[in-house]
A and B are shown apart, each in its own frame.
Chain A
Amino acid sequence: MAFLDNSGDIILDAVLTDTGRKRLAQGDGSFKIVKFALGDDEIDYGLFNKSHASGSAYYDLEIMQTPVLEAFTNNTSSLKHKLMSMPQTNLLYLPVIKLDDVSQPAASFSSNSLLFTEILASTAGNGVYFLPADDATRDELLNDDAKVKGVLGTNPVKHIQAVQGQDTDEISFTRDIGSELRETQYIVSVDNRLAKVVKATSNDEPAAVSYIDDDQVATYYFSITDAAYIKTFSKVSEKNVVIDGPLGSMIKFNLFRSEEIETSTSLFNELGGGSGSVMTISNINYLYIDTNVRITGATTGSSIDIPIRVMKKN
């Protein structure tokens, strides 16, 4: 995508997204625009210079010179970060969503479940999760005590758990974050070809898909009424392991392999490089696909991408 010409008047370059065209083509009334959001994907707020010698008019000098890219037609590529409306203008600290890769959930790895597992930082990087594509892969990973953490013994298998709150020591964690800043709805986006979202401790209760877009990205909505997925906090007496300040809410869920990756290697060849690009653990080769699961707070717009490596024993 090229940059937009910013030498003259401000222009607005608008396009239908691929999903928009798909909905329009369907002709079933699903193409109906009812709301808008604003984004600032290109902006690096680190360039905001609050100590500029020439005064506040120069604080955002570099930001205002940021060139803006043309619109992407891929609906998942634009507006990754939305602007937020909040009635208060005196907020100095805002909540974030952080992956809770520290605490150990109570879930255990049963023999007939295929929940993802965490890999040691030394092997695949911190925060990368493995999703076994079939029983053989799962068993191999479970047996590999030397390399794979969280599968055997002291490290039970984890689910995905993300916590929302104000991650600062400046505010006591015992304070209530308040209804304004508490996230009450989460949006989870997953590549539907690879996995589906299930409850944190069970693989036989898939969550209801809200919609699947043209890129096969499935979107799930969870609200505070989905107690199996979302937990809210008011005042807590114990500091959270990843959020230093007041807590808002938490979402937890798990991923379950799709039938396609269980029964075929075609997607591994198409999306993962196939047998020419394998990952080796204890002399066992695994085909793999790297993907992301995205968790977005529907209220506050904050989001986090969680890297997932789908594994299949070669």
Chain B
Amino acid sequence: MASTFKTFVSDDIANTRTLLHEAIPITGSIVNGVTYDETTPATTNIKTYGHGMFQSVYDYPYQSSSANHIFDMTFGHDALITTQGTYDNNINDLVSESTANLMPTSSADIDKNALFSKRKNIYGQMAQVLVGHDVNGEIRKFDIDGDLTAGDKYNALIFFNFSRLLGKDELKKGTFSLKLNTTADDALDTEHIFITDAGAGSDYRTNSPAGEFAVLKATSGSAADTANGIKAARNNANCGLIFYQAGVVAITPEVFNKFEAYVETPTSAEHGIGFLHTSDCDMNTSSEKMYTVMATRTNDELSLAVRKRIKNISFSNTTELNSTIYFCRVAHNDFNYSSNPTYLENSKVRVKNKSTDAPVSYITTVGLYSARNEMLAVAKLSEPLRKDPTNDMTLRVRLDY
């Protein structure tokens, strides 16, 4: 009997998993305000919010329908550092520092209290999601070497939350690179620092509730990057964390600070864990240092200060494709005739002169059907395939999910 369908048998369907990687380069000009006016909504790539909790960075003026969301930037302080009273030059170590009393000093200092409260909330939120809770239900702090149970912690962090559009299922380990301008004067661009997760492909942690993460290192870059700003002693030092499935990068603000040998009680000029070999960066046109900007400026101003120093960001993302492959096996005596109206002329098969001629058909489309004959998927060949009784073929149709 004639038939137009062929039923799959169990051997005709196979499942497979494929990891697809895309290289994502983000040039600094997209994020640092060089090619657009930060203050004009119609032209800026940066979307700000009334709540001031974070900024969103787009690859095109965000009001355009062509714009794609790239990442969000936000900042967090640990609860300790928001304690009323002191805020040291050393952002990551809370110490008594009388000459740099930049924290809100009284409950009447509403704006500053509100700002620091927001950053405290951000830190808590990100820590809760990315590093979780200890056995007592307390939110853990971000750890400098990834050992959540002990060791030094980050008390302040700059967060880059990459959009799903770029990060896809996860960032690919060992591919992240962030190049920062670390020249003392932000108007100049003579020294750089590179933040990477080099080696993370085989050296990462899994004890985060958000999946896998690795420690970011500050480096001087490749041999070609001669204009590096990192202190030699800090080369390959831990400077942040990268969470691959979450698509979040957290770096310490100390990468903008001058290196000073660690002392238990530093003076105002001593930074326990700074990275730069010459001097602190001037983060804005007012020549303010990173700790000053963090302590006195809004998140939007702080974000601008950091973005202006971004030279480029690059990483590869990963998309996990789960595929089902349908092997459409067409035997020599299958599908040699067509129901195409042009196939017949007065019921006579057009491709034949006499009955003994071999029937011929041309395949352009493969339809995959349910038991109720609903077409659930369709595949098109890029060119017609000739089918006649002298040939057989297997068409592999792969559906990715």
The answer to whether A12 and B384 touch across the interface, beta carbons within 8 angstroms, is no
A45 — which chain B residues lie within 8 A by C-beta?
338, 340, 342-343, 350-351
B contact residues, total (Cβ < 8 Å): 72
Which listed residue (B3, B8, B375) contacts A19, Cβ 8 A? B375
The answer to whether B362 and A32 touch across the interface, beta carbons within 8 angstroms, is no
The answer to whether A46 and B342 touch across the interface, beta carbons within 8 angstroms, is yes
Within 8 A of B (CB), among A55-97: 59-60, 63-64, 66-73, 75, 78-79, 81-87, 89-96
Per CB-CB distance, the 3 closest pairs between chain A and chain B, nearest first, are A301-B339, A20-B376, A14-B379
A198 vs B349: C-alpha distance in the bound complex, in angstroms? 35
A25 — which chain B residues lie within 8 A by C-beta?
none
A187 — which chain B residues lie within 8 A by C-beta?
373
Query: Is B378 engaged at the interface, CB distance under 8 Å to the other chain?
Result: yes
A16 — which chain B residues lie within 8 A by C-beta?
376-377, 399
Within 8 A of A (CB), among B341-399: 341-344, 346-356, 358-387, 389, 395-399
Query: Is A143 engaged at the interface, CB distance under 8 Å to the other chain?
Result: no
Which listed residue (A4, A38, A46, A84) contacts B2, Cβ 8 A? A84
Query: Is A294 engaged at the interface, CB distance under 8 Å to the other chain?
Result: no
The answer to whether A87 and B333 touch across the interface, beta carbons within 8 angstroms, is yes
Interface residues of B (CB under 8 A from A): 1-8, 13, 324, 326, 328, 330, 333-344, 346-356, 358-387, 389, 395-399
The answer to whether B359 and A91 touch across the interface, beta carbons within 8 angstroms, is yes
The answer to whether A211 and B372 touch across the interface, beta carbons within 8 angstroms, is yes
Query: Is A30 engaged at the interface, CB distance under 8 Å to the other chain?
Result: yes
A32 — which chain B residues lie within 8 A by C-beta?
370-371
A167 vs B13: C-alpha distance in the bound complex, in angstroms? 40
Give the interface centre of A14, A32, A79, A298 by most chain B CB atoms within 10 Å.
A14
Contacts A/B (CB < 8 Å), 23 sampled: A6-B383, A12-B396, A12-B398, A13-B382, A15-B377, A16-B377, A20-B375, A33-B369, A33-B376, A36-B5, A36-B326, A38-B387, A40-B384, A60-B351, A63-B384, A71-B378, A75-B376, A83-B387, A85-B3, A85-B4, A168-B348, A213-B374, A299-B1
Query: Is A180 engaged at the interface, CB distance under 8 Å to the other chain?
Result: yes
B330 — which chain A residues lie within 8 A by C-beta?
38
The answer to whether A85 and B334 touch across the interface, beta carbons within 8 angstroms, is yes
Q: Do A84 and B362 contact each other (CB < 8 Å), given the known contacts A10-B383, A50-B353, A79-B378?
A: no
A205 — which chain B residues lie within 8 A by C-beta?
none
The answer to whether B350 and A64 touch across the interface, beta carbons within 8 angstroms, is no
Which listed residue (B355, B380, B385) contacts A70, Cβ 8 A? B380
The answer to whether B4 and A299 touch across the interface, beta carbons within 8 angstroms, is yes
Q: Which residue of chain B has its CB nearest to the CB of A23?
A: B376
B387 to chain A, nearest CB (A): 7
The answer to whether B4 and A93 touch across the interface, beta carbons within 8 angstroms, is no
A282 vs B398: C-alpha distance in the bound complex, in angstroms? 58
The answer to whether A40 and B5 touch across the interface, beta carbons within 8 angstroms, is no
A68 — which chain B residues lie within 8 A by C-beta?
364, 380-384
A95 — which chain B residues lie within 8 A by C-beta?
347
A301 to chain B, nearest CB (A): 3
A85 — which chain B residues lie within 8 A by C-beta?
2-4, 6, 333-337
Known: A72-B378, A82-B5. 11 other contacts (CB 8 A): A14-B378, A20-B376, A33-B369, A35-B5, A48-B351, A81-B340, A82-B4, A89-B333, A94-B347, A167-B347, A170-B348
The answer to whether A30 and B347 touch across the interface, beta carbons within 8 angstroms, is no
A44 — which chain B residues lie within 8 A by C-beta?
342
Give the interface centre of A15, A66, A72, A78 by most chain B CB atoms within 10 Å.
A78
The answer to whether A36 and B8 touch across the interface, beta carbons within 8 angstroms, is yes
B11 to chain A, nearest CB (A): 14
A168 to chain B, nearest CB (A): 4
The answer to whether A12 and B339 touch across the interface, beta carbons within 8 angstroms, is no
A17 vs B369: C-alpha distance in the bound complex, in angstroms? 10
Give the interface centre of A17, A94, A96, A300 by most chain B CB atoms within 10 Å.
A94
A231 to chain B, nearest CB (A): 19
The answer to whether B370 and A84 touch across the interface, beta carbons within 8 angstroms, is no
B339 — which chain A residues lie within 8 A by C-beta?
81-84, 297, 300-303
Within 8 A of B (CB), among A1-35: 4-6, 10-17, 19-20, 23, 30-35
Query: Is A41 engaged at the interface, CB distance under 8 Å to the other chain?
Result: yes
Which listed residue (B4, B7, B360, B374) contacts A84, Cβ 8 A? B4
B39 to chain A, nearest CB (A): 41
